[in-house]
């Protein structure tokens, strides 16, 4: 397996929010007035606190109610789906996208590799 991440340590902020707040954030930052499972906000700044340098890559906002209902609807294991959401959103913080077929395939292949390495199934291969 090829190395996916940087060799340096990174830091992210993860927030859990309700449906109302994720809808508000999605409307404000993506102009979509609907709830969503996760939002990623990449950062270009690094943080230097008490002589320690952190490679801060951004914020992940997760909506537990939405993610849990989505896992149920997709007939996915809840923990497995949560792992996928965190991996997916972290890759967005690392500037991976799925805006076109090539970038989507690249990002999904990395997601599959990480999920399998962690002992989970391919998140894109399931039956409804």
Local confidence band at 125 (pLDDT 50, 70, 90 cut-offs): confident
Q: CA-to-CA distance for 14 and 85, rounded, in angstroms?
A: 12
Task: Determine the Cα angle at 124 with ends 123 and 126, to 5°.
Answer: 85
Indicate the domain borders of the chain: 10-117
- What six digits make up the tokens of 76? 């996915």
CATH number 3.40.390.30 given to 10-117: yes
pLDDT at 128 over 50: no
Q: CA-to-CA distance for 15 and 12, rounded, in angstroms?
A: 10
pLDDT digits (tens, 9 = 90+) for 101-119: 999 999 999 999 999 999 9
The SS3 of residue 12 is: strand
pLDDT digits (tens, 9 = 90+) for 16-55: 999 999 999 999 999 999 999 999 999 877 666 555 666 7
Residue 30 gets the label, from left (phi > 0), alpha (psi -120 to 50) or beta, of alpha
């Amino acid at each position: 397996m090829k190395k996916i991440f940087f060799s340096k340590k990174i830091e992210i902020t993860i927030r859990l929010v309700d449906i109302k707040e994720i809808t508000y954030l999605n409307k404000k930052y993506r102009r979509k007035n609907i709830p969503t499972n996760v939002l990623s906000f990449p950062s270009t700044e690094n943080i230097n606190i008490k002589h320690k340098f952190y490679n801060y890559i951004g914020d992940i906002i997760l909506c537990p109610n939405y993610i849990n209902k989505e896992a149920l609807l997709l007939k996915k294991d809840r923990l497995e789906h949560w792992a996928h959401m965190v991996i997916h959103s972290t890759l967005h913080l690392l500037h991976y996208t799925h805006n076109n077929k090539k970038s989507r395939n690249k990002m999904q292949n990395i997601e599959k590799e990480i999920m399998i390495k962690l002992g989970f199934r391919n998140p894109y291969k399931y039956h409804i």
